[in-house]
Chains A and B, each alone.
Chain A
């Protein structure tokens, strides 16, 4: 079962078992990770599911699409090199993913 570790801006970590094929955003919303707002529900229209991915995990992810890249310019906390929108990250079998959530999404 894939696992996501969400670390908030204050440093507290929540570990959640995810379903293979679900997005990181869906995993967060269904498990009460409030640092992921995900207003639009995954249609790449709101940029409120922003996460910073642990450097060591970056190579395991599918590359970013053009629209995700554009929407990352609309995040509340400025993007960094390891920024992703968690609605675009699909959990794969056995994946162990570490992300940090920004101080605010809005």
Chain B
């Protein structure tokens, strides 16, 4: 049984100003959601050491974290809404579909093992119609492709001997859906003389938190913390290419667990571009990029914004000679991890997404750059523009740069 009386007292600071409500992508689309202020700090105030309130509207919270970013009082709104989700699941149960969706790692393993078939089936209209009717996954929702040659088959290095050493937290998406992002990252690090290891790891837990499976998510959290601490204590830095996983390792583990171990690990965690920026600031970054006469637009995932580290992807990509990149300044994509895969949330997801699509189309560029696989999924569905991860662009720029250098 989950401890429903969790300790989190930032709710006391809420001035009821509504900044979180105004910045909540879901509250902007529907009145059916109670809003982050009510379902976060307000409910916690009513529940603290008193009766538990189960509000089913919390299902509409995507845990995007825009509430946290907007709060002038630093109330941990999304931590509180995550607990509201956990309470709701505990008291009202969780749909079978949501349990499956929350186990992204298990789904990834299974789906990639039968990748060609999975991808084929997920592209078949009749199959999808049946899925919508039986488990409630909307037929029109694009599904990310799974890769038979997933990253776990490709890479298994466990020790490094370079000066800087990186323990790579890959995440489910880069492992099973986008191994190219993972291999690109390893190459980018190699070009900087840094060896990358892949410690044993489990799903970061973000999809579990979002589906009220807090207990399971924290089990994974503790597993990851212990495995990665073994590395950080030997001088490794933890680097992540998925912004949601990064946020989990940096912030969510600390908020939920409040343990010294969680805090210790968090202090060693970097987003991949943030890490490159650190190298740059220390004069260690290899800047031998081949010039690229390209125009790109950058879309910042909510979980990137929530880290409060500025815009590291653009900081690094702008170092490529001739490369032009512009921030779309767009809000939430609406896919929000597993949220957009639920039939009853599909309209809200699409309405949020359509605003993003309009902004993307307004910025003249050849393709879109973003770190998050789920944002990419929404962009793939709503725009006809290719979507790339910064690591893919950097790896190419280094590769061509290397060739140019070799030819000289």
User: Are A and B co-members of a single complex?
Assistant: no
Residues of A whose CB lies within 8 Å of any CB of B are none
